[in-house]
Amino acid sequence: MDNRKEEFESTCNLFINSISNYFKHLTEIDSDMKVPYLKESQGLILKDFTGMIGISGGRKGFVYISANKDMFADLINMFIGIEDPADEDILDMAGEISNVVAGNVRANLGANFMISVPTVFKGMPEELEIPEDVLVYVIPISWKGHEAFVVIGLD
Amino acid sequence: MKKRLLIVDDSSVMRRTIEKNLQEYDLEIIGQASNGVEAIDIVKDEMPDVVTLDITMPEMDGIACLEEIMKIHPETKVMIITALSDKLTGLTALDKGARGFMFKPVNSDDLAKAFDKLLKRNG
């Protein structure tokens, strides 16, 4: 179990580096990582808008990024200058961040770490299949005062 | 004469970000597509000179789309812009005819450097 946990935490560090790089490279503003923790209970930790990526290949699981509208709207405003984006754009932004954060991990884990196109949703999804028997790691982050969660579930 | 550009990415925000950052270049944006199938339709009709192409997309992914573009119009200058940041993905894209690749996240400086090189190199 200890080896499994160590390997899992090592993989989670790749995601931490990936999300840090995303904000730093695109906005030149650092994000702050709070203390990550293993999630013991069932159920999802969600903010208002979420982008989720399925992981297959050598590892199986998921990663999602969930935040309130303000954070995604702030990013959209920085990128394309729209101050009050529609929910459709907010969901698109959530999907794109999750895609980049998951895709960048392949630099270390290789092409056998396969990712899906993003699934995006507002609030609690009506249907969502989450694999069982996965360790779920929650990384709370803060960027420009906006709070968000990066949640990683891997076998 | 302006080069004609097609932007292909399943993220609408990403497509508009690329469009905004390439405004200073001598490019006419002739279309945007959110997947490979839409992109192929536009390529057949419009024969763009330059295509920015994402890889992870629904319907048809970027690598399959690249192969089709090379069959239809091999002179098309395809710049892959993908989050899949492993070497194999980049090398596969080059092997299949892409003129360059960039790993997301890409900022305005990254795009400028890549397009300076792409447009200068290809005239």
> A99: which chain B residues are within 8 Å (Cβ-Cβ)?
11, 56, 83, 104
Measured between alpha carbons, how far apart are the two ends of chain A, in Å? 12
Distance from CA of B116 to the nearest CA of A (A): 20
Q: Which of B20, B88, B103 sits opposite A80 (nearest CB)?
A: B20
Distance from CA of A92 to the nearest CA of B (A): 6
Contacts of A24 (CB under 8 A, 6+ apart): A30, A31
Q: How far apart are CA B17 and CA B2, in angstroms?
A: 20
> Residue B80's pLDDT is what?
98
pLDDT(A117) > 80:
yes
CB neighbours (10 Å) of residue A83? 8
A91 or A40, higher pLDDT: A91
pLDDT(B18) > 90:
yes
> A89: which chain B residues are within 8 Å (Cβ-Cβ)?
12-13
User: Would an 8 Å CB–CB cutoff place B8 in contact with chain A?
Assistant: no
Q: Mean pLDDT over residues A2-12, rounded?
A: 77
> Residue A129's pLDDT is what?
77
The least confident of A132-136, A149-153, B54-58 is: A132-136
Percent of chain B, pLDDT > 90? Answer: 91
- Decide if B11 and A117 are in contact by the 8 Å CB cutoff: no
Which chain A residue is nearest to residue B20, measuring alpha carbons?
A80
Q: What is the pLDDT of residues A59-70, one digit of tens each?
A: 889 999 999 999
User: Would an 8 Å CB–CB cutoff place B20 in contact with chain A?
Assistant: yes
What interface predicted TM-score (ipTM) does this complex get? 0.93
